[in-house]
A and B are shown apart, each in its own frame.
Chain A
Amino acid sequence: MEENIATIRAFIFESFLFDANDDLLQNDTSFLDEGIIDSTGVLELVDWLEERFGISVEDDELVPENLDSVNALAAFIDRKKSN
């Protein structure tokens, strides 16, 4: 989980926050509320999840509870991997 959190943070910075300071993103910060990821960015995030972690994200899993923070993503990946 810790390793995934680091990987996720690196992706979010690389893709959406560019050269922002590390402390701008807490692990429970909402991507949508803070304007970090817009509605089309979510689909970019999903492409990355599928490619990087070898999982398949179904349409009914495209919900903020699964994808809207670093912690939510890490937990979602764990759940998908354990299924």
Chain B
Amino acid sequence: MCGIAGYFNLGNRPDDGRRVLERMIYPLAHRGPDGFGFFQDEIAGLAHARLSIIDLAGGWQPITNEDRTLWIIFNGEIFNYPELRAELLQRGHVFTTESDTEVILHLFEEKGTDCLAELNGQFALAIYDARRRSLFLARDRMGIRPLFYTVHAGVFYFTSEVKALFSGVAGLPRQIEPRVLGEIFTFWSGAGEQSIFTGVKQLLPGHWLAVDSAGLKGPQSFWSLPFCPDEPGKRTEQDYAEELRALLIDAVRLRLRADVPVGAYLSGGLDSSAITALVRHYTSNPLKSFSVAFADSVYDETAEQQAMVDHLTTDHHRVSCSYGDIAAAFPQVIWHTETPILRTAPTPLFLLSGLVRRNDYKVVLTGEGSDEILGGYDIFKEAKIRAFIKACPDSRLRPLLLKRLYPYLALSPTRSAQYARSFFDTDEVPDELFYAHRPRWKTTAGTQVFFTDEFAAQVVTPESTLADMAAELQGLDFFNRAQFVECRMLLANYLLSSQGDRMAMAHSVEGRYPFLDHRVVECAGRIPTRYKMKVLDEKHILKMAVRDLLPEAIVRRKKQPYMAPDILSFFGEREPDYLSYYLSEPLLREAGMFRPQAVAKLVEKCRKRSRQGFKENMAFVGILSSQIVYDKMIKNFRVDIPDRLESVKVVS
């Protein structure tokens, strides 16, 4: 795993390009602490920060091809590289390293953009063609690895994290993009290619972008989320379960390829348990597992984790997490997320990756992605129940099903079936494109009450954002549409980034996600809705596929989504000192996003009672994280760069 950064001359080039590259790559040293590499010519510059995982001795980047016309920097892993390498060797390519990076280069040399279809992996990459004077960027299908870019003063810049741009690009404006803050305060994350910083875009998952002297070509999609109408035919649920299991076994096997030991996160839920069990049963990988133990029993899953540890006899390690631990780490977490978030949930994963690193592990498998592709989330169940009620509105019994939702919440919105019905049985019909998500988005948008009038006036309606997605949802049932929206928005823009890549990379740890192997995702896309959630049994096919590998209690356990205490973390024990700075009236006024008086009243309310409802929890964490982003990334952005970076590889 690594960090990448670079530039391309679009009519201009930066003064002292080498120093620009150094200033860009140094802030990414947490992604690649093992050393830096650079390439430069008169058109382009590439920089790479390396975390050594494959080909420890020979994998330094940038890497070039046989005639030194192509140069690549790469963040991520190509899991099927040995097979691809063997084919390329047969076709006459000459390799100088054992790395997966070089495989991409030769494949690109041969197939151009079509090479992406052959890669099974998680990646952000840049290939510079010195002969054609062009740059090619690409990002993996699900958005596991990040890639940002901007154009400033006639130069195109790209990077793994935005802080590289702010550090390296002289004169680049740093400001919050109101549209995206409005998206976060509605959808829980940004929704499209625009980042929270005006002018800085992300390359969307499954897209490539080409740059030459004529400008930008693309972004263009090379893969789409595979949800589709139920396929006709006679395949049984057993057939699908067998196909899923076979693919998961292979996805796990490929993801254990590394020249360093591979561990696993074990949350106590079905998904990480399934992955860990597959490692135990189908590979000889020694099993070290890691988990978070919450001090607050409402969030803690230690008992379930221990059941799996006992069952699989893993060498298990835990990091404990109290309210105070979350509060203490939160500002540092936001430095890494580089975006406002409405939940503290990334913070325990930041602490967890620290534990992994202290155990000298660099790579962990996780169960991320299963809930999205196989139908595990409560929002899918909620939509199914709402549709069931809507089909027979006079039924007195159907609304009682709402009481089966959210039993794990201290303040359950379904304690009263009648109230739940008022809330969930909305006017929308299941044919409405975003049917499943409307109640959630309405509740979340209530947090915008804290925006200043000036800021709110710049926030566009979410409908214009949603319109971009509408065409891709046509023809799907509401369940598949909900899955698509979860994958596109929350998985890519929050779970895999703020909670995934950024929290692991903060401690130089690489997460690997067998459920997000594109073959597994494509299989899940074909499974009929009625099998993914059979009546109200979530992830039914997955349970069938792995039941024999797990204790029955884990398979039968009611799903508890991963959550962390929000307001409680800041007011449940001791108020962190920094609140008085980040939420001070002068800083709020200066940032211009939130009304100071309203924020003061919210804080007052939190002090009186730290157990609050959805809206207050999201608002508080959203406001605090936005203020931290403003302070750390805009007002007081600063990275001290050494005069000259010690580099391990310089080519030009």
For A63, list chain B residues within 8 Å (CB).
416, 418-419
Contact of A15 among B419, B449, B605 (CB under 8 A): B605
8 Å CB contacts to B: which residues of A52-70? 59, 62-64, 67-68
Docked Cα-Cα span, A62 to B413, in Å, equals 11
Number of interface residues of A (CB under 8 A): 23
Q: Nearest residue in B to A20 (C-beta to C-beta)? A: B449
Q: Are A19 and B597 in contact (CB under 8 A)?
A: yes
| Chain B residue, CB-CB nearest to A15 | B605
Contact with B along A18-35 (1 / 0, CB 8 A): 111000000000001001
B652 part of interface (Cβ distance < 8 Å): no
A47 to B615, CA, bound (A): 17
Known contacts A18-B450, A18-B601, A19-B601; A40/B419 CB under 8 A: no
Q: Does A50 contact B (CB under 8 A)?
A: no
Inter-chain contact A35/B411, CB cutoff 8 Å: no
A-contacting 9-mer, from B114-122, B440-448, B632-640: B440-448
- The verdict on B613 contacting chain A, using a C-beta distance below 8 Å, is yes
Please tell me if the beta carbons of B614 and A59 are within 8 angstroms of each other in the complex: no
- Shortest Cβ distance from B444 into chain A, in angstroms? 9
How many residues on chain B are close to A (CB under 8 Å)? 31
Interface residue B422 (Cβ < 8 Å from any Cβ of A): yes
B427-470 CB mask vs A (1 if < 8 Å, else 0) is 00000000000000011011001100000000000000000000
Residue of B whose beta carbon sits closest to that of A13: B601
Tell me whether A43 and B614 are in contact in the complex, defined as CB-CB below 8 angstroms, given that A18-B602, A19-B601, A32-B422 are known contacts: no
Shortest distance between the CB of A66 and any CB in chain B (Å): 10
Report B-chain residues with C-beta under 8 Å of the C-beta of A62: 415-416, 418-419
Chain A nearest Cβ from B119, distance in angstroms: 43
A35 and B605 in contact, given A20-B449, A63-B419 (Cβ under 8 angstroms): no
Q: Any chain B CB within 8 A of the CB of A49? A: no
Chain B residue contacts of A40, Cβ below 8 A: 409, 411-413, 613-615
Is B419's CB under 8 angstroms from A18's CB? no
Instruction: Give every chain A residue within 8 A of B411 (Cβ-Cβ).
Output: 40, 43-44
Q: A39 near B595 (CB under 8 angstroms)?
A: no
- A64 in contact with B613 (CB, 8 Å): no
Please give, as numbers and ranges, the residues of chain A lying within 8 Å of B424 by CB-CB distance.
39
Query: Quick one: given A39-B443, A41-B615, are A18 and B416 in contact (CB under 8 Å)?
Result: no
Minimum CB–CB distance for B95 against chain A, Å: 58
Q: Does B553 contact A (CB under 8 A)?
A: no
A5 on interface, CB distance cutoff 8 Å:
no
Q: Which residues of A contact B602 (CB under 8 A)?
A: 18
Which of B419, B597, B605 is A39 in contact with, Cβ under 8 Å?
B419
Cβ distance A47 to chain B, nearest Cβ, rounded Å: 9
| Chain B residue nearest in CB terms to A34 | B446
A35–B442 touching, CB < 8 Å: yes
The CA of A41 and the CA of B449, in the complex, are separated in Å by 15
Q: Please give, as numbers and ranges, the residues of chain B lying within 8 Å of A20 by CB-CB distance.
A: 449, 598
Given contacts A32-B422, A38-B613, A38-B614, are A18 and B449 in contact (CB under 8 A)?
A: yes
B612 at the interface (CB under 8 A from A): yes
B615 contact from A14, A32, A38, A67, Cβ within 8 A: A38
- B420 is an interface residue with CB less than 8 A from chain A: yes
Chain B residues with CB under 8 Å of A43's CB are 411-413, 415, 613
Q: Which residues of A contact B414 (CB under 8 A)?
A: 39
A44 to B613, CA, bound (A): 7
Inter-chain contact A41/B613, CB cutoff 8 Å: yes
Q: Which chain A residues lie closer than 8 Å to B419 at the CB level? A: 39, 42, 62-64, 67
B423 at interface by CB-CB < 8 Å: yes
B422: which A residues are within 8 A, CB to CB?
Answer: 32, 64, 68
Per-residue CB contact flags for chain A residues 67-80 toward chain B (1 = under 8 Å, else 0) read: 11000000000000
Determine whether A17 belongs to the interface, using a CB cutoff of 8 Å to chain B: yes
CB nearest neighbor in A for B420:
A39
> Hey, which chain B residues are within 8 Å of A41, CB to CB?
613-616
Closest chain A residue, CB of each to CB of B599: A18
How far, in whole Å, are A32 and B615 apart by their CA atoms in the complex?
13
Q: Indicate which residue in A14, A32, A64, A68 contacts B605 across the interface (CB closer than 8 Å).
A: A14
The distance in angstroms between the C-alpha atoms of A83 and B450, with both chains bound, is 40
Bound-state CA distance A41–B423 (Å) is 12
What's the Cα separation between A18 and B452 when bound, in Å?
A: 13
Distance of A49 Cα from B473 Cα, bound (Å): 44
**Interface pairs A-B: 5 shortest CB-CB:** A39-B413, A62-B416, A40-B613, A18-B598, A19-B597
Q: Please, could you name 24 A-B residue pairs with CB atoms under 8 Å apart, sorted by A?
A: A14-B601, A16-B615, A17-B449, A18-B450, A18-B601, A19-B598, A20-B598, A32-B423, A38-B443, A38-B446, A39-B414, A39-B419, A39-B420, A39-B613, A40-B409, A40-B413, A40-B614, A43-B413, A43-B415, A44-B613, A62-B418, A63-B416, A63-B419, A64-B422
7 other A-B residue contacts (CB within 8 Å) besides A18-B597, A39-B419, A68-B422: A35-B442, A39-B614, A41-B613, A59-B416, A63-B416, A63-B419, A64-B419
